[in-house]
Structure 1
Amino acid sequence: MTQTQITDAVCHTYTQAGVQLVLIDEIHRLNPRTTIGAQAAADLLKDLTERLPATFVYAGINVTDVENALDLHHHKPGTLPRHAPYLHQRTAGRIGSLTRLIRQAAITAIHDGTERITKTTLDAAQLDHLAEQHNRPTRNR
């Protein structure tokens, strides 16, 4: 089977079984700068999180928090966790959408010279298609 066929089979099986929680251990082994194939594994996990109606929990040793990895000179640690409900709603709880949102806001912060992420920069960031569809207002009939 190809990787795509395996992924499709896993998604089908998990959906049919009603899996609601997926635990991923040893996430520290997925550092794409040091591990061969880690980027492919990270891409696979992103694909699974977008296709499965389940909560994913990641565990690992000495895993750097996303906010600490931003390396923005004026960003205040703790800003992102304070916006957790907003971030979850905006990204529909998708880890891929969340990382894209934070990355876009960080790029904006670097380009505009503020070197910090605020709710305003998060609001201005464009999301991927799945998250944008989730956040599209519904029309009343």
Structure 2
Amino acid sequence: MHIISTFDHSIYLELAITEIEMKGIKKENILAIPIDKRNEDIRLFDSIHSSDGLSLLDLPSILAVICGIFGEIYGFVLKWGPFLWGLIGILIGIVLGLTIKLILIRKSKNKSKDRRGTEVVLIIECTDTQSDMIKSILWSNRALGVSSLSLNKN
């Protein structure tokens, strides 16, 4: 029987492996494989086939409408009139929104690079009688997921 589990790369993985070895499972029957994560940069524009969930134009659109309305309102008092001040307000809103959004995206990209840890897949070969004990050890050491695979040798 094989027990398969996933862990974040942390001290809990080492504790689980040590505890399993202390329960009588040999080192040769334990396999830990680190999984590499994709290091793709965040794209500014989404394609029709993929999206990262970040919208670049939501904040600029909202600020363009708000600044355009204020430009129209105050344009009745100012020299160039409401139409031109409305267009100026729209342009100011778009530039301000894009600037804020790009700064926020850049900060979130830096934070996501810091938080990226690797996951480790742990595969343990054991007997059917040891499987429940090993599963409880894995769960008590903060495993992300645990599954078992029974290979019948007929």
Quickly name the TM-score band, shorter chain normalised: under 0.3
TM-score by length of 1: 0.22
Q: Which has the higher contact order (CA 8 A, sep 6+)?
A: 2
More strand by share: 2
Question: Quick check: which has more Rg, 1 or 2?
Answer: 2
